[in-house]
Chain A
Amino acid sequence: MKILVPVKRVIDYNVKVRVKADQTGVDLANVKMALNPFCEIAIEEAVRLKEAGKASEVVVISIGTTAVQEQLRTALALGADRAIHIETELSLDSLQVAKLLAKLVGEEQPDLVILGKQAIDSDNNQTGQMLAALTGMGQGTFASKVQINDGKVQVTREIDGGLQTVELTLPAVVSTDLRLNEPRYASLPNIMKAKKKPLEVKAADSFGVNLQSNVTVVKVAAPAVRQGGIKVESVAELVDKLKHEAKVI
């Protein structure tokens, strides 16, 4: 069984982002970048399936500038077998990413695609569902448990009311939630080994996909700042303030 894992390079989740003064976007100059946390979980799940003998090959893919090769190498160090970099200078919307991934699914014929439920920069939460639509695959989104059996995958999904389990025919798309697993750290020997693993580069415009989105950013503004309030000295004072000042209880 072959597993495809699309991963995104994003701003490190610990970084406090700042909006640019000209309101065209956020300032990414000299900011620490990393694998999207949900993608780390996707890699981990795929690697565990391989270690458990359920999968034979884990292929990671990232779409973006040459810089994404850093994250692909990390993924290889975490246990992926080979990497594909789809190169573009454009910053693509989820639909365009999904279209490129759908082409790659056509070429690679994976049995399973595992990706993050959400990129923590755009907070879109769309790519997996779109890829599933474009390829006609079933989708198990927001997964907290994945079980493969006889050409099917059972996915336990984190939903608003609790948990839901669905069964999908393979090939299928799974998107990861935070509690699916706890990703490992890459060991030094594995980081060294990753340098020798195959990494293929393909030009995004060689796929015959229209990379233009019909959604444009008008502006990006900083959120309204919330003024910190006061410290109260006691529970009695708190209750009094809530009753008589804030009038919320």
Chain B
Amino acid sequence: MAILLIAEHNNQSLKSETHKVVQAASAIGGDITVLVAGLNCAAAANEAATIIGVSKVLLADNAAYEHQLAENIAGLVAELGANFSHILAPATTTGKNFLPRVAAMLDVAQISDVIAIESSDTFVRPIYAGNAIATVKSTDAIKVLTVRPAAFRAAQTGNSATVETVAAVHDAGVSKYISAELTKSERPELTAARVVISGGRGMQNGENFALLNGIADKLGAAIGASRAAVDAGFVPNDMQVGQTGKIVAPDLYIAVGISGAIQHLAGMKDSKVIVAINKDAEAPIFQIADYGLVADLFTVLPELEQLL
């Protein structure tokens, strides 16, 4: 078995999702080759070479790959991937964007959002917003999978795999990068944080999200949100946790002013410990919370910040 794994990075450094997908790849078994495609991304490739379990790193350094445009990355991955038994990428917005394109180019299915590896051809994935868990078996010659990072531990570092340069340039010429507005934050990333505190419609407005800051500071937490809070414009889209947002599984998840719709639960119900703060004792979030506090969030949050 030979596995090609596409690294997630920002051209400077590797994202932790990559380490988690390596862990999933190790469960399949076989040689793991990591592809780092980007521009001036040698440092990220060197970082990938330190992950235990990786046998080789391929570095494709070209302007065509700078912004991870799906049309270009997919061309590269489909060419390189033809010789592998498995192609894996994290189920992030980047992986979800280019990997189905790769699968179609190779005329094979993609299995999305894998949360467990049963064997080299059998995988487990949630469907219906996590209300059902499907085990699927593939007889495709190349298995193409996006892997849900929250479901796997990060592979350790301490390796020194070889880094090889790939000359292939794929520029499909149909798409162009225009701009990006990236949210800047000193806090840990939502999907990597040990503690997440999320606010919902109950927060009432964007300014009130500041009430979560002090608590997040003390706990080293990332701040998330429900879709209702994002839709209402309280906070940016990249904070959304849920079926169609980010999937998190921290040690501690604190839901504040969130009712607990199934689409929200789909993104956080695998957290180790869940706390819910809601003034409505009947809110469905309490059915899955380990610790529920029925109270007004505007009195609770300042008190919580003080007691931590």
Cα of A117 to Cα of B126 in the assembled complex, Å: 17
Given the complex, which residues of A lie within 8 Å of B166, measured CB to CB?
none
**Nearest-CB distance from A165 to chain B (Å)?**
4
Complex contact A249–B288 (CB within 8 A): no
Complex contact B101–A123 (CB within 8 A): no
Given the complex, which residues of A lie within 8 Å of B71, measured CB to CB?
132, 138-139
For chain A, the count of residues having a C-beta within 8 Å of the partner chain is: 81
Which of A133, A159, A164, A221 has the most chain B CB atoms inside 10 A of its CB?
A133
Residues 198 to 249 of chain A near chain B (Cβ within 8 Å): 213-223, 226, 228-232, 234-236, 238-239, 241-242, 246, 248-249
Known contacts: A120-B243, A217-B136, A238-B275. The answer to whether A137 contacts B177 by CB under 8 A is no
Which of B176, B231, B308 lies in contact with A167, CB distance below 8 A? Answer: B176
Given the complex, which residues of A lie within 8 Å of B122, measured CB to CB?
218
A162-187 vs B, CB cutoff 8 Å, 1 = contact: the mask equals: 11111111001000011100000000
Cα of A209 to Cα of B191 in the assembled complex, Å: 39
Complex contact A129–B98 (CB within 8 A): yes
Complex contact A235–B74 (CB within 8 A): no
B233-270 vs A, CB cutoff 8 Å, 1 = contact: the mask equals: 00011100001101000011000000000110000010
Nearest residue (CB) in B for A137 is B174
Known contacts: A129-B104, A218-B122. The answer to whether A232 contacts B292 by CB under 8 A is yes
Cross-chain pair count, CB within 8 angstroms: 257
Complex contact A16–B262 (CB within 8 A): yes
**Nearest-CB distance from A57 to chain B (Å)?**
23
Given the complex, which residues of B lie within 8 Å of A130, measured CB to CB?
100-101, 103-104, 110
**Nearest-CB distance from B23 to chain A (Å)?**
19
Which of A144, A167, A177, A215 has the most chain B CB atoms inside 10 A of its CB?
A215
Nearest residue (CB) in B for A160 is B93
The reply to whether the CB of A192 lies closer than 8 angstroms to some CB of chain B is no
Complex contact B129–A248 (CB within 8 A): no
Complex contact A235–B288 (CB within 8 A): no
Complex contact B135–A125 (CB within 8 A): no
Known contacts: A129-B104, A215-B138, A230-B291. The answer to whether A123 contacts B273 by CB under 8 A is no
**Nearest-CB distance from A48 to chain B (Å)?**
18
Nearest residue (CB) in A for B251 is A248
At the interface with chain B, which of A1-9, A62-70, A90-98, A105-113?
A90-98
**Nearest-CB distance from B83 to chain A (Å)?**
19
Nearest residue (CB) in A for B141 is A214
For chain B, the count of residues having a C-beta within 8 Å of the partner chain is: 90
| Interface of chain B: mostly helix, strand, loop or mixed | mixed
Cα of A136 to Cα of B112 in the assembled complex, Å: 22
Complex contact B308–A249 (CB within 8 A): yes
Residues 21 to 56 of chain A near chain B (Cβ within 8 Å): 25-26
Complex contact A126–B175 (CB within 8 A): no
Complex contact B109–A95 (CB within 8 A): yes
Cα of A230 to Cα of B274 in the assembled complex, Å: 11
Complex contact B93–A158 (CB within 8 A): yes
Known contacts: A129-B97, A138-B175, A163-B237. The answer to whether A220 contacts B132 by CB under 8 A is yes
Which residues from chain A sit less than 8 Å from chain B, CB to CB?
Answer: 11, 13, 16-17, 19, 25-26, 93-95, 98, 117-118, 120-134, 136-142, 144, 154, 157-169, 172, 177-179, 213-223, 226, 228-232, 234-236, 238-239, 241-242, 246, 248-249
- Nearest 5 CB-CB pairs, A to B? A229-B290, A138-B174, A129-B100, A130-B104, A133-B104
Which residues from chain B sit less than 8 Å from chain A, CB to CB?
Answer: 67, 69-71, 74, 92-94, 96-105, 107-113, 122, 126-140, 172-183, 191, 195, 219, 227, 230-231, 236-238, 243-244, 246, 251-252, 262-263, 269, 272-275, 281, 286-295, 300, 303-304, 307-308
Besides A132-B101, A138-B71, 10 other CB < 8 A contacts? A17-B132, A126-B103, A129-B70, A132-B71, A134-B104, A219-B135, A222-B131, A226-B269, A231-B291, A235-B293
